[in-house]
Amino acid sequence: MNLAQFGWNPFFEAHFSEYSAAGFMPARICSEHKQQYQVYTESGEYPAEVSGKMLYLADSRSDFPAVGDWVAVNSPENGGLAIIHAILPRKSCFSRKMASGRDRRSGGRPEEQVLAANVDTVFLVSGLDREFNLRRIERYLTLVYNSGATPVIVLNKADVCDDWEYCVAEVKAIAFDAPIHPISAKTQNGLDALRNYLQPGKTAALLGSSGVGKSTIMNALLGYERQRVQVVSAQVGKGQHTTTERELIPVPTGGLLIDTPGMRELQLWSSEENLKGSFEDIETLAVRCRFADCQHESEPGCAVRAAVETGELDASRLQSYRKLTQEVAYLEQRQDSSADYLERKKWKQIAKWQREYSRISLKR
């Protein structure tokens, strides 16, 4: 197998030299299920698992490989398991805060969930039916800008929208330079525009909530039915989760696709700095505020609120910005608290080992 077709390039090769000297070979994670992996290597595709050392040193879920990662593995013998010993630096990585149910089981501490790594282009899919939601697109844009990948907005189901041009104009007002492609995966109209991004060695990911047509788009781009398609509920206008695992899939015409499970609960894993990419209009206006730390609430001389009053800026846009800013600030505070907790826990464990060692020494 030619690793270049799976995205191997000089960036990863430069970081692999130390592992090559140790006798390991490069591999890319193509699927993951409960820390059981499949990897692509030069000699073929193999099942894989992390080494005992890697398992022991991992502090959180984000320390484990994700789909799209390049890793260093040993050469599997007689069709056995490949053992993953290290993760190479990532060119891009998009993450979210782990779903709230799992967060509670971790004692209320926020935990990062890496959705995919080393993605070049993210197809941010939204439906042009009842699922069309500008505020949700803003959240996804924030997630993608934070990843280091390039967002491409895909507005699916143009065949059922009477005025899709108006929807495109609305998205353009919040998307700035991100390309926007109205398509119909059902009729395969507009899909050629997406195929242009799938160049050999390039990786794209499909991201969007359930029912927007990601699996239909996936099947159309692959040229065969890889993912089962669910019918969207006519009562609530929402789809069911079709994809249950993230998977890296080669496209016959070139490039690779990562499909991700639909996410109804998208909680950001970001920083306030990363909001600037998806709210350039507000950040540009904020430069003209009288106070550098203006919160755009009730401060005098606020250029952002003035723009809302004159109609230059939509009030719902500012409300969304405030909500995301508060959410990110809260997450950063909890992340700091979590780091303090882990540090205290580490030293408490060290003190316990020292007491145990002293007790054993005295017995001798």
Amino acid at 113: Q
* Residue 349 parent element (H or E): helix 315-363
Angle subtended at Cα 245 by Cα 241 and Cα 248, rounded to the nearest 5 degrees: 125
DSSP secondary-structure letter at 196?
Answer: T
Residue 332 to residue 136: CA distance in whole angstroms: 21
> Which residues are documented as binding site for GTP?
156-159, 208-216
> Which residues are documented as binding site?
156-159, 208-216, 289, 294, 296, 302
Residue 183 to residue 159: CA distance in whole angstroms: 8
Residue 205 exposed, middle or buried by CB count within 10 Å (0-12, 13-18, 19+): buried
In total, the chain counts a number of residues equal to 364
Q: What sign has the CA pseudo-torsion 139, 145, 147, 150? A: positive
The CA-based diameter of the chain, rounded to the nearest angstrom, is 85
Q: Tokens at residue 104, please? A: 């509670």
Q: Which of 282, 277, 283, 3 is nearest to 149 (CA)?
A: 277
Residue 289 to residue 294: CA distance in whole angstroms: 7
> Which residues are documented as binding site for Zn(2+)?
289, 294, 296, 302
Enumerate helices (H) and strands (E) in the chain, giving the number of each.
10, 14
Amino acid at 163: D
Q: Tokens at residue 217, please? A: 């788009």
* Residue 126 parent element (H or E): strand 121-127
Give the number of other CB atoms < 10 A from CB of residue 44.
Answer: 10
Residue 257 to residue 119: CA distance in whole angstroms: 9
Distance between alpha carbon 5 and the CA centroid of its chain, in Å? Answer: 22
Residue 145 backbone dihedrals phi, psi, to 5 degrees: -60, -35
CB 318 within 8 A of CB 304: yes
